[in-house]
Structure formats: structure tokens, C-alpha cells
């Protein structure tokens, strides 16, 4: 028998409205008991993990990860991406289908499932494509993707521009009870924009990616979700107008939802102008970096680690995304972990690919901007990483209910640490947060009761 007692932690399970200092017993890969029953039922001599002053919660879920398999394994693989996920506290991740070839058929879905079974450190679920080859022209075989086990469909990285085609996709998705996740970007408005259209794009001479380019597609998705009854989830929301549109639509019962990524609610477009410009103004609002004398991380202007899609926006948009997270308009937190090789990013800003890695920093940044700033309590932050994405994707995960899989994350919400390149498990190093002092750190990640990752220093006595 394989048993482990997580002793004396602050156990937070939003799905069961549980928040109390107690024990959790894991046995044979399942949650065997929570609360007083846990130590009572623990077998004699059970292995203990002292979780005093730590949070014990359901294993975190990231529904927006680029694992780059198949075809782009120089950037990331199932092995390295899931290792990064485990370090970040994630027990389930959903990989995006914009690979090479795209995940637009049952065979490729099976390939990912096989690779995940062989090399995955954590659970990998697959999002299938909406259109063949993610070309936006012809629907992918949505029923066959569903049969192959996809948990959602999306053309992420791209956006279906043809509204009629999107409507058909939603009608099919509804038949199969799949959520349609959308990267909201109107190509005619955005054209070849590389950063937020505003003061800094003008000052830096870079082509602008206007907020309306996202808001327009969010509005389109709301109308189509309302017309078809299909569930639509808007990915990586970055613009104030998008948050307001979602708020209104959800208020009248439209089946629409949204997610936010830490870079969009931590950084702003001023970061593209270099660290000095950023810290002088927008950076002051970041938790932990307001104190005088703090030596803040430095970077040059036009640093491609700050190029992502959608782009970092102005402080007003950052505040609107935070407000949307606080009032529940945005119900999911995720990374949009998007690894790229050094040589791809080490070019002029215009030519660099969009995207940054995020699995290892998203929990800390979310705690800093939401919990440590007292915008949200720990249960609310944890819900956005666990039961909310699980419900959206219809996953039997995201809770510590007795009998469920023992996917558990143990983290220290108050631990300060510095994110160092030598400690990243990802195959790529395109993060803007290297060298940052962060607050909140995973110390153990259990998948099916097994240790997917344990921080040696913290749990050396285990």
C-alpha cells in the first residue's frame, strides 16, 4: 500500500468550501480522507509530509500550455514542459494544437496521449483544433476529435476570422459538449502589430496592436455563444473593453468565460521601453517592488522577452484585467506558456516570435498581484487554478473530495525566492521574469499520489 499523510497544512479546497488547518490522507493514488479522519485512518508508520505553514490544495490545472509536440521539440517537449509544470505546482495541463502538424485529427491526439503516458511528469490533456491545419478555412473533424479525447477545441495562436465558420464550429461543439476556446484577434485591425497600440508604440516606433482588435472578437464570440448556446471561452484577455463586454454578457447569462495570464496583469507596455521607464511609473504598482531602495530587475528597451500576443497593454488595461479577476468576470488563471528558442528571440523586436514561458512563475505572480495585494483571498485564487478550469473542461479534477485522484499541490504563499535560469525545467528560457524576486512557491506536487516534484530544501526530512 502506498500512503502519505499531509499533516497540519492549511487545506483549501474551494469546490468543497473547505479552508482549515488539518490533515489529508493519500492512499493508493486517491484522496482517502480529509480532516480528523485523515490521521485516524492513517496506517501505522505512514510516511508524513509536514505541511505546517503551507497550503495544501487540489493539484493546479493550467488549461493554456504550448508543449510544442509534435514538430517543434527544439522549443519544448512533453518531458520538459511537464517537468516545468510540476515545479510550478501543476498536476494537469492542457496543450494547445498549434503544433507542426496541427493537432486537428484523432491520430495526432493519440500521439500526444502516448507521449504523455511515456514522458509526462504530470497529466496532459489535449485541445484539438477548430479548423484543419489551423488555417481558418475548413472545420476539423470535431466529433472524431471529441472521441479521441480532446477536452476543448481552439485555433490558439490564430483566430477564426470567418464568422459563419465560427458559428458552425460552435454548433458542432455544442452537440459534443465541448467548450470552444478562442484567441481573440481581428486580423484586419491588428495586421502586423507587434505591441499595444498607444503612447509607447508611437514613442518606440513599433507597429501597434490595438485593444479593439481583441474586443471586436470578444463581442463576436458573445453574439455567437448567445445565438448557438455553445460555450465559448476567451483566451488570455488583455483589454479593458473585453473585460467589460464579458461582464455584461455573463450578467445576462450568456455561456461565455474568460481567462487571464500573469504577464498581462503584472507588466505593461512601458516594459518594452526598458526597465527604467517601467519601474519609474507602472512598475510601482507591482506587489513587493514599491519599497524604496529595492533593487529591481533591469532589462534594455526592445527586449523581446516582453513580446507576446496579445501584447502587454497600458496600466489602465492591466487594472481592468485585475478588476475582472476580482469580480469573477475572469474565472480562470493560466500561463499561455509559450516556449521559444534563444536564437528565435535574439533578433529585432519586429522579427521575434510572440510568447513567453510561464508555468514556473504563474502561481507566484498571481499570488503577488491578487492575494498579497489583498484583492482576493487564497480560496478565490486557488479556485481559478483548480475547480473553475475543471468545470469548464468537464474534468474530474480540481478537488480534494474523498475518492478523487490524489492530485495535490503544496505551496508556501509567503516564501520569497528569485527566479533563476539555472532552476528552470523548461527547454526554453524566454521569460521576462528571470532575476525577479517572487513571493509564493510550490514545495510539492503530487500526481495520483506520487511525487511529481518535491523541493529538496523544504522537505529534506520527509
Cell numbers given for 132:
484543419
d(CA 392, CA 160) in angstroms, rounded, equals: 21
Of 6-14, 177-185, 278-286, 298-306, which segment contacts Zn ion by CB under 5 A? 177-185
The upper half-sphere exposure of residue 118, i.e. CA atoms within 13 Å in the direction of its Cβ, equals 8
Nearer to Zn ion, 57 or 181 (CB): 181
Estimate the crossing angle of helix 212-228 against helix 240-251, to 10 degrees: 20
Alpha-carbon distances, residue 137 vs 134, 183, 264 (angstroms): 8, 16, 30
Q: C-beta of 156: minimal distance to Zn ion in Å?
A: 4
* Number of residues near Zn ion (by CB under 5 A): 2
**106 backbone dihedrals φ, ψ, rounded to 5°:** -60, -35
Pair type for strands 55-58 and 408-418: antiparallel
d(CA 1, CA 27) in angstroms, rounded, equals: 7
The DSSP code sequence of 80-92 is HHHHHHHHHTEEE
DSSP, collapsed to helix, strand or coil, labels residue 65 as strand
Q: C-beta of 65: minimal distance to Zn ion in Å?
A: 11
Nearer to Zn ion, 334 or 363 (CB): 334
**Cross-strand pairs, 454:** 444
123 binds Zn ion (CB under 5 A): no
d(CA 376, CA 364) in angstroms, rounded, equals: 14
The DSSP code sequence of 229-279 is ---EEE-S---HHHHHHHHHHHHTT-SEEEEE-HHHHH--GGGGG-HHHHH
Pair type for strands 450-454 and 437-447: antiparallel
DSSP annotation of 139: B
Nearer to Zn ion, 183 or 345 (CB): 183
State the residue for C-alpha cell 464550429: 169
Nearer to Zn ion, 120 or 310 (CB): 310
Nearer to Zn ion, 39 or 72 (CB): 72
d(CA 141, CA 126) in angstroms, rounded, equals: 15
**Other CB atoms within 10 Å distance of the CB of residue 72:** 17
The one catalytic residue in 156, 336, 407, 412 is 336
Residue from 66, 68, 123, 183 touching Zn ion (CB under 5 A): that is 183
Nearer to Zn ion, 9 or 128 (CB): 128
156 binds Zn ion (CB under 5 A): yes
Nearer to Zn ion, 156 or 214 (CB): 156
Q: Is 336 a catalytic residue?
A: yes
The upper half-sphere exposure of residue 213, i.e. CA atoms within 13 Å in the direction of its Cβ, equals 24
Q: Which residues are catalytic?
A: 336
Binding site for Zn ion (CB under 5 A): 156, 183
Amino acid at each position: 500500500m502506498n500512503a502519505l499523510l499531509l499533516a497540519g497544512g492549511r487545506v483549501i479546497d474551494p469546490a468543497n468550501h473547505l479552508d482549515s488547518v488539518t490533515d489529508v490522507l493519500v492512499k493508493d493514488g486517491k484522496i482517502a480522507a480529509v480532516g480528523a479522519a485523515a490521521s485516524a485512518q492513517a496506517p501505522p508508520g505512514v510516511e508524513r509530509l509536514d505541511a505546517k505553514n503551507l497550503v495544501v490544495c487540489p493539484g493546479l490545472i493550467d488549461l493554456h500550455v504550448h508543449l510544442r509536440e509534435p514538430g517543434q521539440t527544439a522549443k519544448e517537449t512533453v518531458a520538459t514542459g511537464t517537468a516545468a509544470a510540476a515545479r510550478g505546482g501543476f498536476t494537469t495541463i492542457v496543450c494547445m494544437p498549434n503544433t507542426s502538424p496541427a493537432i486537428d485529427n484523432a491520430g495526432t491526439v493519440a500521439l500526444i496521449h502516448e507521449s504523455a503516458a511515456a514522458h509526462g511528469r504530470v497529466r496532459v490533456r489535449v485541445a484539438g483544433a477548430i479548423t484543419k491545419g489551423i488555417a481558418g478555412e475548413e472545420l476539423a473533424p470535431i466529433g472524431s476529435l471529441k472521441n479521441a479525447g480532446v477536452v476543448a477545441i481552439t485555433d490558439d495562436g490564430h483566430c477564426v476570422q470567418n464568422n459563419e465558420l465560427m458559428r458552425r464550429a460552435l454548433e458542432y461543439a455544442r452537440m459534443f459538449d465541448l467548450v470552444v476556446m478562442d484567441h481573440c484577434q481581428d486580423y484586419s485591425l491588428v495586421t502586423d502589430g507587434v505591441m499595444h497600440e498607444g503612447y509607447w508604440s508611437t514613442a518606440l516606433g513599433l507597429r501597434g496592436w490595438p485593444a479593439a482588435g481583441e474586443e471586436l472578437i470578444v463581442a463576436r464570440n458573445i453574439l455567437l455563444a448567445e445565438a448557438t448556446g455553445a460555450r465559448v471561452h476567451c483566451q488570455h484577455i488583455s483589454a479593458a473593453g473585453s473585460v467589460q463586454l464579458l461582464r455584461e454578457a455573463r450578467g445576462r447569462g450568456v455561456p461565455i468565460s474568460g481567462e487571464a495570464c500573469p504577464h498581462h496583469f503584472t507588466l505593461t507596455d512601458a516594459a518594452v521601453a526598458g526597465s527604467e521607464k517601467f519601474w519609474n511609473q507602472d512598475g510601482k504598482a507591482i506587489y513587493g517592488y514599491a519599497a524604496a531602495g529595492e533593487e529591481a530587475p533591469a532589462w534594455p528597451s526592445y527586449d523581446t522577452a516582453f513580446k507576446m500576443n496579445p501584447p502587454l497593454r497600458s496600466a489602465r488595461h492591466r487594472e481592468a484585467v485585475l478588476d475582472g479577476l476580482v469580480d469573477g468576470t475572469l474565472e480562470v488563471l493560466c500561463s499561455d506558456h509559450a516556449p521559444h528558442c534563444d536564437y528565435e528571440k535574439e533578433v529585432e523586436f519586429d522579427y521575434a516570435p510572440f510568447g513567453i514561458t510561464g508555468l514556473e512563475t504563474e502561481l507566484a505572480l498571481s499570488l503577488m498581484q491578487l492575494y498579497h495585494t489583498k484583492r482576493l483571498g487564497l480560496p478565490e485564487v486557488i479556485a481559478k487554478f483548480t475547480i473553475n478550469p475543471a468545470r469548464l473542461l468537464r474534468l474530474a479534477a480540481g478537488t480534494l473530495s474523498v475518492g478523487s485522484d490524489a492530485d495535490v499541490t503544496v505551496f508556501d504563499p509567503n516564501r520569497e525566492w528569485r527566479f533563476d535560469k539555472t532552476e528552470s525545467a523548461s527547454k526554453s528560457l524566454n521569460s521576462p521574469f528571470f532575476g525577479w524576486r517572487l513571493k509564493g512557491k510550490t514545495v510539492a506536487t503530487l500526481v495520483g499520489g506520487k511525487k511529481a516534484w518535491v523541493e529538496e530544501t523544504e522537505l529534506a526530512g520527509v
